């Protein structure tokens, strides 16, 4: 059997190996040949008599130009450009990304929202619009979009220009913001700029990226200096399998419709410190809420004694200050975080209610049911049934 070609970016992103591996495992009989490509080499490979089909990330116009007139089936898994009419296009579902981000930021109590845009990237604009629509469904608006392009002739460094642009963007905005970034790289630069300008804002803002590059940064480049970004991990395995399935359908079944777009779901939120706070006007209270929320997410039970030791302040003063800025007791806040975690597990897993109660710090099933009814207006079982119905 003649092979298929799996062309990777010449400088592959952290997710490229996962996509290719899933592609190879899905249909081993396809005999895929993985190749890192330069745009100038695309035509050489796809016009080979041994090539029956191609999977390729078309992220640049010059790469698209090399495919003009090619007749074998082509599956494009890049979303940097609008979907080319000459390929079958696979993309992550931007609507799902917008919903996940809006859900998380609204849970944290943020009333003001911003977006970090990558100019010239189709996926960035798609995610921005999906985020805007998801906020509107929840009664909110996307108030500000950060859109930065470094001038070519400036004597300043990129970091200096970026920090200046962030400062100008934030100047008219509320200090407490819930922000979605087009991807993790832009979110990382924003995080570092914020830390240089005003570290208190790291406690008052919630920042979400997309791609979950953090493990790669820790392992290969930044180590412990990597910013602890909350991120939306995309379904790389699902994309690789969809590439294999689509190419097989095109070649074996003749089901090939150039210009069609298929969407891949299955994204999930990976929580870290950059979004673990709570909307308020006091950096210490935001830091306290973030620490408590992260502890709940890890399945820990943060008590007042632990909080007193962590923040070097008497328990009574901590509790009073928290209530002053949030309007609720710290104990109530922690209970809400536990219930919200239980709701996520009910939606995303098949764990029993008793198992979820244990993971979320409730001593018994009945305790979770009582608290869940108070905050969610229904029992855990009713909530799961409703989500499955949707």
pLDDT (tens digit per residue) in 101-122: 998 898 777 878 999 999 989 9
Q: Is the pLDDT of residue 167 over 90?
A: yes
pLDDT-based confidence at 184, cuts 50/70/90?
A: very high
* pLDDT at residue number 275: 83
pLDDT digits (tens, 9 = 90+) for 281-324: 677 787 777 777 777 777 776 666 777 777 777 888 888 888 88
β-sheet with 144-147: strand ranges across: 144-147, 113-117, 178-181, 206-210, 230-233, 268-270
Question: According to the model, what pLDDT value does residue 2 have?
Answer: 47
| The pLDDT value given to residue 11 | 44
Give yes or no for residue 348 having a pLDDT over 70. Answer: yes
Instruction: Please give the Cα distance from 209 to 3 (Å, whole number).
Output: 37
- What pLDDT is attached to residue 46? 67
What percent of the chain lies above the pLDDT cut of 70?
Answer: 84
> Where exactly are the structural domains of the chain?
5-92+235-266, 94-234+270-275, 283-389
Closest CA to 331 of 314, 318, 346: 318
Residue bearing the bigger pLDDT, 72 or 2: 72
Distance CA 55, CA 302 (A): 49
94-234+270-275: CATH topology = Rossmann fold (3.40.50)
The pLDDT of residue 10 is 42
Across the chain, which distance is largest between two alpha carbons, in Å?
A: 77
Query: Is the pLDDT assigned to residue 341 strictly greater than 80?
Result: yes
pLDDT at 230 over 80: yes
Q: Is the per-residue pLDDT at 162 higher than 70?
A: yes
Provide the whole-model pTM.
0.74
| For residue 144, pLDDT beyond 90 | yes
* pLDDT surpasses 50 at 185: yes
> How many angstroms separate the first and last alpha carbons of the chain?
44
The correct CATH number of 5-92+235-266 out of 3.30.465.10, 3.40.470.10, 3.40.50.2300, 2.30.30.90 is: 3.40.50.2300
Distance between alpha carbon 163 and the CA centroid of its chain, in Å?
Answer: 23
The reply to whether 5-92+235-266 and 94-234+270-275 are identical in fold is yes
Phi and psi, residue 45, nearest 5°: -75, -45
**Helix 315-326 vs helix 283-297: crossing angle, to nearest 10:** 100
Measured between alpha carbons, how far is 252 from 250 in angstroms, rounded to an integer? 6
The values of phi and psi at residue 229, to 5°, are: -80, 130
pLDDT at residue 16 tops 90: no
CA gap 350, 357 in Å, rounded = 13
Measure the CA angle with vertex 146, ends 143 and 150; round to 5°: 165
Q: What stretches of the chain adopt beta strand conformation (E)? A: 5-8, 33-36, 54-56, 74-76, 88-92, 113-117, 144-147, 178-181, 206-210, 230-233, 261-264, 268-270
Report the pLDDT value the prediction gives residue 32, as an integer from 0 to 100: 54
Residue 39 has pLDDT above 70, yes or no: no
Indicate the class that CATH gives domain 283-389: mainly alpha
Q: Are 345 and 351 in contact (CB under 8 A)?
A: yes
Q: What are phi and psi of 201, to 5 degrees?
A: -65, -25
Which tops the pLDDT comparison, 115 or 84?
Answer: 115
How far apart, in whole angstroms, are the C-alpha atoms of residue 18 and residue 73?
A: 22
Closest CA to 231 of 127, 332, 136, 141: 127
CA dist 80 → 49, 164, 174 (Å): 29, 27, 31
* Residue reference for tokens 């934030």: 170
If you write DSSP's letter for every residue of 368-379 in order, what string do you get? HHHHHHHHHSS-
Quickly state the pLDDT bin for 343 (edges 50, 70, 90): confident
Highest mean pLDDT: which range of 143-157, 313-327, 376-390: 143-157
pLDDT(1) > 50: no
- pLDDT-based confidence at 132, cuts 50/70/90? very high
Q: Average pLDDT over the chain, rounded to whole?
A: 82
């Amino acid at each position: 059997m003649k092979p298929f070609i799996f062309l990777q970016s010449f400088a592959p992103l952290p997710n490229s190996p996962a996509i290719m591996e899933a592609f190879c495992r899905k249909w081993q009989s396809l005999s895929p040949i993985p190749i890192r490509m330069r745009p100038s080499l695309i035509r050489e490979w796809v016009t080979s008599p041994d090539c029956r089909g191609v999977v390729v990330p078309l992220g640049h116009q010059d790469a698209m130009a090399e495919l003009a007139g090619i007749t074998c089936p082509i599956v494009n898994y890049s979303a940097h450009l609008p979907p080319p009419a000459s390929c079958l296009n696979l993309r992550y579902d931007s609507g799902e990304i917008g919903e996940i981000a809006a859900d998380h930021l609204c849970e944290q109590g943020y009333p003001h929202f911003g977006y970090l845009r990558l100019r010239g990237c189709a996926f960035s604009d798609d995610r921005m619009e999906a985020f805007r629509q998801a906020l509107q469904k929840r009664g909110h608006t996307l108030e500000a979009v950060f859109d930065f392009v470094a001038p070519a002739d400036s004597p300043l460094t990129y970091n200096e220009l970026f920090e200046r642009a962030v400062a100008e963007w934030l100047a008219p905005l509320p200090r407490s913001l819930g922000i979605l970034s087009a991807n993790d790289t832009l979110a990382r630069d924003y995080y570092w700029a914020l830390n240089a300008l005003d570290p208190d804002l790291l406690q008052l803002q919630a920042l979400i990226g997309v791609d979950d590059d953090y493990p790669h940064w820790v392992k290969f480049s930044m180590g412990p200096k990597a910013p602890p970004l909350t991120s939306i991990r995309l379904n790389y395995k699902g994309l690789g399998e969809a590439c294999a399935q689509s190419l097989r359908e095109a070649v074996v079944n003749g089901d090939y419709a150039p210009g069609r777009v298929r969407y891949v779901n299955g994204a999930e939120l990976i929580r870290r410190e950059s979004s673990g706070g709570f909307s308020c006007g006091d950096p210490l209270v935001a830091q306290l809420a973030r620490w408590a929320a992260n502890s709940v997410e890890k399945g820990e039970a943060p008590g007042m004694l632990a909080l007193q030791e962590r923040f070097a302040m008497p328990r009574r003063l901590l509790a009073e200050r928290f209530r002053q800025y949030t309007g609720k007791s710290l104990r109530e806040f922690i209970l809400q975080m536990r219930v919200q975690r239980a709701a996520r597990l009910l939606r995303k897993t098949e764990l029993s209610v008793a198992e979820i109660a244990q993971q979320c710090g409730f001593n018994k099933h009945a305790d979770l049911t009582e608290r869940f009814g108070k905050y969610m207006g229904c029992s855990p079982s009713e909530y799961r049934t409703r989500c499955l119905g949707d």
